Amino acid sequence: MIQLLQSWRFWALLSAAFAALTAILAKVGVSGVPSDVATFVRTLVILALTGAILLASGQAAGVGEVSGRSAVFLVLSGLATGASWLCYFRALALGDAARVAPLDKLSVVLVAVFGVALLGEHLSLPNWIGIGLIALGAALVAYGA
């Protein structure tokens, strides 16, 4: 069990499951509510939940230990997250969750490209084929008849 909890694959799959639930629950929740208001409510819940986790785990003091460089990039990441969520909820308000979520997951393709271009990461040919298939799959779900 400890080995499972230390596996990045386990947490990534769990993230995918929660992301799927997020899309379905958000699609229902955004009905009749302005998408920006829905995003705000969701953000408050996330803030409360992560704050409670920090307090319960004794990590709250770690907030003051974040370096200036890390803080700048975390703030920028937070701004990108906020923009992503605002766009995602607007898309959910306008489209089907089953089509919005796969198109949103083109972020996987962009992360691969950005990781290679900006972070110097390396992907093998099979990795690039997989990235291409993700892009093709997202396009087929979003635009297919």
Alpha carbon distances (Å) from 19 to 25, 26, 67, 127, 139: 10, 10, 30, 22, 19
Q: Rounded CA gap, 115 and 110, in Å? A: 8
First-to-final CA distance of the chain: 44
Q: Rounded CA gap, 111 and 51, in Å? A: 28
Q: Is the pLDDT score of 145 beyond 70?
A: no
| Structure token pair of residue 109 | 């393709």
Tens digit of each residue's pLDDT (9 = 90 or more) over 16-68? 999 999 999 999 999 999 999 999 999 999 999 999 999 999 999 999 999 99
Are the C-beta atoms of 123 and 112 separated by less than 8 Å?
yes
Average pLDDT over residues 91-103: 92
- % of the chain exceeding 90 in pLDDT: 88
C-alpha 32: how far from its chain's center? 24
Average pLDDT over residues 100-118: 95
